[in-house]
């Protein structure tokens, strides 16, 4: 199975805007399509609570005719047009879709941050982890999120193997940043966030990029 995960930073802009950035984003989508993945995980879709518009659906059908898709958007009491996740998967696949609530601090569970596909022999799940924010205002809530999310993955793993993907909003080691010396206490590179990612790996999960590519 081939899985590609990407933070798109606004699916709406990518599909409907004529800006230079949107054109670059569509180029990335074309490249992803050329790789012929079985599943595409997309984070930060920023769609309305009702999901893709009719125009979005038409464009997705044209760009990805061999794929079905499921989405999860931010909804009240969370901010509108915020966060959000989507899976596109080959229409030959028939997963069971769940949109889990993990008991995170409000309104994180309403921000459309986790989607899970269940197959006969494994799970594929994606996450868009909350950012700790300016001045780390959301760090404590983020730590609770990390704990609840880890518990969720553990529960899945007790049933069948788990492929976990997404945007974890953490630079786990200094090699993951160009200038780690200048970012020690910034969101995504705090000791707390990195330690939480350590805990996840110590439970038996594998950072597949580092497994394949090493410390490069």
pLDDT tens-digit profile of 110-169?
A: 999 999 999 999 999 999 999 999 999 999 999 999 999 999 999 999 999 999 999 999
Report the chain's mean pLDDT, rounded to a whole number: 96
Q: How far apart are CA 139 and CA 192, in angstroms?
A: 8
Residues 6+ apart with CB under 8 A from 55: 15, 16
Residues known to be catalytic: 128, 167
In tens, the pLDDT along 86-103 reads 999 999 999 999 999 999
The domain 3-213 having CATH identifier 3.40.50.280: the answer here is: no
H/E stretch holding 212 reads helix 208-213
pTM: 0.95
Residues 6+ apart with CB under 8 A from 179: none
Q: How far apart are CA 123 and CA 176, in angstroms?
A: 27
Q: Which two three-digit tokens encode residue 209?
A: 């990029």
Domain ranges of the chain: 3-213
């Amino acid at each position: 199975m081939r899985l590609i995960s990407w933070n798109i930073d606004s699916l709406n802009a990518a599909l409907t805007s004529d800006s230079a950035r949107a054109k670059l984003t569509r180029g990335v989508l074309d490249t992803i399509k050329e790789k012929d993945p079985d599943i595409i995980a997309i984070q930060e879709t920023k769609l309305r609570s009702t999901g893709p518009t009719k125009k979005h659906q038409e464009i997705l059908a044209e760009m990805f005719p061999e794929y079905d898709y499921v989405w999860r958007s931010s909804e009240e009491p969370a901010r509108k047009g915020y966060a959000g996740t989507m899976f596109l998967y080959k229409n030959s696949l028939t997963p069971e879709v769940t949109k889990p609530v993990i008991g995170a601090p409000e309104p994180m569970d309403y921000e459309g941050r986790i989607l899970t596909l269940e197959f006969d022999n494994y799970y594929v799940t994606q996450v868009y982890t909350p950012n700790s924010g300016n001045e780390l205002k959301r760090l404590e809530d983020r730590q609770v999120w990390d704990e609840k999310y880890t518990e969720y993955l553990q529960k899945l793993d007790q049933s069948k193997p788990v492929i976990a993907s997404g945007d974890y909003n953490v630079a786990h080691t200094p090699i993951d940043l160009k200038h780690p010396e200048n970012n020690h206490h910034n969101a995504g590179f705090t000791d707390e966030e990195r330690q939480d990612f350590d805990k996840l790996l110590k439970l038996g999960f594998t950072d597949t990029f580092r497994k394949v590519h090493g410390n490069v």
